Amino acid sequence: MRKRNYIIFLLVSATLASCTRRETLEDLTPRPNILWISAEDLSPRMAAYGDSTVATPNLDRLANEGVVYDHAYTSAGVCAPSRNAIITGRYQISNGGHNMRTLYSTYPEKTGLPKSYNSVPPAGVKLFPEYLRAAGYYTSNNIKTDYQFEAPVTVWDEVSDQADWRGREDGQPFFSVINFTTTHESQIWARADHKMRADPAKVPLPPYYPDNEISRTDVARHYSNLSELDDQIGEVLSKLEEDGLLENTIIFFWGDHGDGLPFYKREVYKRGLHIPLIARFPNKIKAGTRDNTFINAIDFAPTMLSLAGIETPQNMQGKAFLGEYKSATDHEYIFGARDRLDSKYDRVRSAMDRQYQYVRNFQPEKPLYMDIEYRKNMPMMQMILEKKEAGELNEDQLFWFKETKPAEELYDLREDPYQLHNLADNPEHLETLERFRAVMDQWLAEIEDLGAIDEKEMVKNMWNGSDQPPHTAKPVVYQAGDKTTISCMTSGASIAYREAGKKRWEVYQNELTLETGTYETTAMRVGYEPSEISIFEVK
């Protein structure tokens, strides 16, 4: 009888243990759905990061039900170079995508460049969603790309202002990007007539802004735009719940670089690179936790692949911080870069650990402030420049406007969070300075900084010495029996195929067995012009 009771006790205990066991990230299903909600020009200004200036209930929900990453940074303080790095998992200065920007307008009348060009990363570099598509994922982007090159047709199933997960086949895993421009720099003046949701009298101001009505109004507008963004995020979450997908989807919320405010955006100081990153996992795994991992946004690509069970490609420079192929270590340093902004050039690199940030100015003869016309649309920027001319700025506010800058800067982020006191000439910090010098030298050598090359020369090199962009070779189709093989003479090109009349291109990987019919194929190396379309018959 005792033996029987003991067996019953073991069974009950096992049942209770299984009921109370907390799920871990290792319990995630293979090939999980992944949703990106990305914001523009946004630093960690929400309650999850200790700033309750404006209510953000939907971001609070994500934080309370997920993981808040305290140390996530981009590798550029402006969108297109940052996005070039994010989509490839590589530093933009290794891709030739570091100048803002290469597509649409390079200000040729001032730079002497082609009006628009695709940056050309090394052969074999691919946009990471292509790997997901090849693994069976449905990929969609709503709607911004801005990667400094056009994407091959192998990357996305849909890019539009309506794109989401609903276009996929039943049961197909998805990777969907929904990008909001609500907090973009331009919206500070474009949304001036929207109802103010933050009290200008209560918003925090950094010491480099004059404390007046104009500064407070623009900063309050930025917070109000954050509140509007939070409403939009709530709509996305409701749609996901409506479709019964909330507990089957990993959600990432992040920003593409720091705030779109003066002396934040376009800078490689910490404030220009520090972004919010919040992840919610199915069934609220790790709910309400914080993660101190040092993350560069180049890590996003290998992490998404790792979550889908795909090993990090050798040409990616980022590290997976989640998933099957999670790196054993995180970054010791976060690196950032600034180069051409519109028509102005200033090559700057930075390296940061958990206490210090080092900045190397390759053109110290130039002022720190870059006279970018676009941001002069902001009332606060106009006011700051007017006060500068009138001699009405104090020492901290003039920090941005010195006629030249030091070749090196060093800041103690704990003692000097606004980075106003350069320690590079302080003998007490010589050891730290020398350490960062060596770290910077090693990094620049390892990643092959193309910013060291004149941009016109770099474009010529990308175009193989020609004055015209290179074209991808037309694919060649080989057929033997019921097998079809497609190849392309252009090294590193992505190949796509589809049945004639169909909209969707498939990613070609290996030898195919196709049904009888007419098919099309095309190829494109990232940064090159796409090939002609080849038509072939399968009989």
* Span 349-359, pLDDT tens digits: 999 999 999 99
* Interacting residues of 270 by C-beta distance below 8 A, sequence separation 6+: 73, 352, 357, 413, 419
Of 409, 436, 462, which residue constitutes the final position of a domain? Answer: 462
Q: Considering the domain boundaries, does residue 103 fall inside one? A: no
Considering the domain architecture, whether residues 207 and 321 belong to the same structural domain is answered as: yes
Domain assignment of residue 319, given as a range: 25-97+124-330
Token couple for 162: 């309506």
Q: Considering the domain boundaries, does residue 241 fall inside one? A: yes
Q: Considering the domain boundaries, does residue 468 fall inside one? A: no
Task: Check whether 8 has a pLDDT greater than 60.
Answer: no
* Span 242-266, pLDDT tens digits: 999 999 999 999 999 999 999 999 9
pLDDT at residue number 216: 98
Task: Check whether 21 has a pLDDT greater than 80.
Answer: no
Of 274, 307, 330, which residue constitutes the final position of a domain? Answer: 330
Q: What is this structure's pTM?
A: 0.95
- Nearest to residue 500, comparing CAs of 537, 453, 463? 537
Of 309, 330, 351, which residue constitutes the final position of a domain? Answer: 330
Q: Considering the domain boundaries, does residue 158 fall inside one? A: yes
* Span 85-135, pLDDT tens digits: 999 999 999 999 999 999 999 999 999 999 999 999 999 999 999 999 999
Considering the domain architecture, whether residues 450 and 485 belong to the same structural domain is answered as: no
pLDDT category at 22 given cuts 50, 70, 90 is low
pLDDT at residue number 335: 99
The answer to whether the Cα torsion of 78, 83, 89, 91 is positive or negative is negative
Task: Check whether 2 has a pLDDT greater than 90.
Answer: no
Catalytic, out of 48, 59, 79, 301: 79
Whether 496 and 153 have beta carbons less than 8 Å apart is answered as yes
pLDDT at residue number 115: 97
State percent of the chain over pLDDT 70.
96
Considering the domain architecture, whether residues 360 and 303 belong to the same structural domain is answered as: no
187 phi, psi to nearest 5 deg: -75, -10
Considering the domain architecture, whether residues 490 and 528 belong to the same structural domain is answered as: yes
What mean pLDDT comes out for the span 396-410? Answer: 97
Q: Considering the domain boundaries, does residue 29 fall inside one? A: yes
Token couple for 270: 């910490």
Considering the domain architecture, whether residues 369 and 309 belong to the same structural domain is answered as: no
Q: Helix and strand tally (H, E) in the chain?
A: 14, 19
Task: Check whether 192 has a pLDDT greater than 80.
Answer: yes
256 phi, psi to nearest 5 deg: -85, -10
- Nearest to residue 278, comparing CAs of 87, 85, 59? 59
* Span 136-169, pLDDT tens digits: 999 999 999 999 999 999 999 999 999 999 999 9
Rounded Cα distance, 108 and 94, in Å:
23
- Nearest to residue 39, comparing CAs of 70, 4, 74, 88? 74
What mean pLDDT comes out for the span 222-250? Answer: 98
pLDDT category at 528 given cuts 50, 70, 90 is very high
The amino acid sitting at 397 is Q
Considering the domain architecture, whether residues 249 and 154 belong to the same structural domain is answered as: yes
What mean pLDDT comes out for the span 486-503? Answer: 97
Task: Check whether 3 has a pLDDT greater than 50.
Answer: no
Query: CATH code at 517?
Result: 2.60.40.10
Q: Considering the domain boundaries, does residue 351 fall inside one? A: yes
Considering the domain architecture, whether residues 457 and 480 belong to the same structural domain is answered as: no
Please count the structural domains in the chain.
3
Considering the domain architecture, whether residues 314 and 350 belong to the same structural domain is answered as: no
Query: Rounded to an integer, what is the distance from CA 220 to the centroid of its chain?
Result: 25
pLDDT at residue number 24: 83
Considering the domain architecture, whether residues 315 and 343 belong to the same structural domain is answered as: no
Q: Considering the domain boundaries, does residue 216 fall inside one? A: yes
Assign 446 to helix, strand or coil. helix
pLDDT at residue number 19: 44
Whether 478 and 510 have beta carbons less than 8 Å apart is answered as no
- Nearest to residue 337, comparing CAs of 505, 539, 98? 98
Considering the domain architecture, whether residues 326 and 347 belong to the same structural domain is answered as: no
Considering the domain architecture, whether residues 261 and 315 belong to the same structural domain is answered as: yes
pLDDT category at 30 given cuts 50, 70, 90 is confident
The amino acid sitting at 12 is V
* Span 447-462, pLDDT tens digits: 999 999 999 999 999 9
pLDDT at residue number 18: 42
361 phi, psi to nearest 5 deg: -100, 115
pLDDT at residue number 449: 98
Considering the domain architecture, whether residues 252 and 363 belong to the same structural domain is answered as: no
The H or E element containing residue 387 is helix 379-389
The mean of the pLDDT values for the chain is 95
Assign 99 to helix, strand or coil. coil
Q: What is the 3-state secondary structure (H, E, C) of 278-337?
A: EEECHHHCCCCEEECCCEEHHHHHHHHHHHCCCCCCCCCCCCCCCCCCCCCCCCCCEEEE
Query: CATH code at 222?
Result: 3.40.720.10
pLDDT at residue number 15: 46
Q: Considering the domain boundaries, does residue 8 fall inside one? A: no
The answer to whether residue 488 is catalytic is no
pLDDT at residue number 27: 77
